[in-house]
Amino acid sequence: MFSELTILMLTAVSIAFLHTLFGPDHYVPFIVMSKARKWSYVKTLSITVICGLGHVGSSIVLGLVGVGLGVTVTKLELFESMRGNWAAWGLIAFGLVYFIYGIRAAFKNKPHTHGHDHSSGEKHLHGHTHYGEHTHVHEAGALSQYVPWTLFVIFILGPCEPLIPLLMYPAAKYNFFAVAMVTGIFSLITIATMVGIVTVSAFGLKSLSIRPFERYAHAAAGFALLLCGCAIQFLGL
């Protein structure tokens, strides 16, 4: 018969998987930003893992402090709820700002035509865009660095709601090894699920051609982040 600790570890697996699967904020930001900013698979998955570590790590640290100092679960849950609000509003703000940036980029990248004269006297029209070809290096570089760090901060603020009350505190009744086991399992499954969903989705989107709508990619990514933040804040996802 399974021991209570074994059941707790199996519970950590199921909770981590379901918590991640039904939380779109765990993977949507990486999928849409990877497509919009044309990140490589390595960069996409690296950012996903780093943000995932920040996500689970912040709750683990808070839980360990709570267990060590004897803080009640109710107080920690209240603080975790506050962190969840901060993260949701952060995602909403980031999505809105990036959506505005995307609209601006799409407007600047509006296709247009130019006439070309040849020495033979022949004339023809050539349609193209300018913005994608002549984006300022400093602007693009600054934004490329800004996006991953913003996601990282949002994920640090975002709590793993079930980790502390359902896993860490019950495990603390045994010993520190039990706490380490359940938190390790929860972290591994959470990050593995994030990576799995992002990998499959990013691969699918890369194979999907959106050439006619490519100039709206940034706006679409910002709008997706905005909707994701709103779903978490107002629908409790």
Structure token digits, residue 171: 């495990």
Give the whole-angstrom CA distance, residue 191 versus residue 168.
Answer: 18
Q: What is the pLDDT of residue 205?
A: 79
Measured CA distances, 179 to 9, 27, 59, 67, 80 (Å): 10, 26, 13, 10, 19
Average pLDDT over every residue of 190-206? 92
Q: Give the pLDDT confidence score for residue 212 in this predicted structure.
A: 64
- The pLDDT of residue 132 is 46
pLDDT per residue as tens digits for the range 57-75: 999 999 999 988 888 888 8
> Could you state, in order of their start, the residue ranges of all structural domains in the chain?
24-109+131-206+213-235
Q: Grade residue 211 by pLDDT with cuts at 50, 70 and 90.
A: low
- CA dihedral angle for residue 160, residue 164, residue 167, residue 172, rounded to 10 degrees: 150
Q: Which of 20, 41, 17, 34 is nearest to 155 (CA)?
A: 20
Predicted confidence (pLDDT) per residue in 141-186, tens digit: 556 678 999 999 999 999 888 999 989 999 998 888 999 999 999 9
Q: Are 162 and 15 in contact (CB under 8 A)?
A: yes
191: its two tokens:
């990050």
CA 188, CA 136: separation in Å to the nearest integer? 40
